[in-house]
Amino acid sequence: MARHQSSRHDRGPSQRALRVGELVRHVLAELFSRGEVRDEVLESHVITIPEVRMSPDLRLATAYIMPLGGKDIGLVLEALDRNRRFIKGEVARRINLRYAPEIRFRRDDTFEEASRIDALLHSEKVRRDLETGGKAEDDPDDD
């Protein structure tokens, strides 16, 4: 009788992938906060990196970034792509891994998504549903 084994995707990232992602995030934050990436666009923006997700083989790092206030996100992503080779080299130098991961930069949408959910939760319709206990006023089960 065969045992059911869940795939790696069912379980989420491994502890090692999470740990390496956090190490990469710290290196990137250090590079940007100290102005070590010589680029006019990057030097004129404060960049936050809430998360870095690693591929299971640790060869690809996806860094989610957001400039302060969401200003000039397109310009910042272009500048990061221009400097990707230097950034990869610095990450490789500071973290002892068998392979230096390729780094791709993506816009972090979690702040916008959280604001959207917050607005929904505070909407008139949700408040009305909470006050009526989730039942419509003309619900026949109310009798």
SS3 47: strand
Q: What pLDDT does 44 receive?
A: 92
Q: Is the pLDDT of residue 4 over 50?
A: no
Please name the amino acid found at residue 115.
S
Q: What pLDDT does 134 receive?
A: 60
Q: What pLDDT does 3 receive?
A: 45
Q: What pLDDT does 139 receive?
A: 52
Please tell me the CATH code under which domain 11-108 is placed.
3.30.300.20
Q: Is the pLDDT of residue 79 over 90?
A: yes
Domain boundaries, the chain: 11-108
Summarize pLDDT for 88-134 with one digit per residue, the tens. Answer: 999 999 998 888 899 999 998 876 666 777 777 777 887 777 787 76
Query: How far is it, in rounded angstroms, from Cα 128 to Cα 119?
Result: 14
Query: How far is it, in rounded angstroms, from Cα 39 to Cα 127?
Result: 48
Summarize pLDDT for 21-72 with one digit per residue, the tens. Answer: 999 999 999 999 999 999 999 999 999 999 999 999 999 999 999 998 778 9
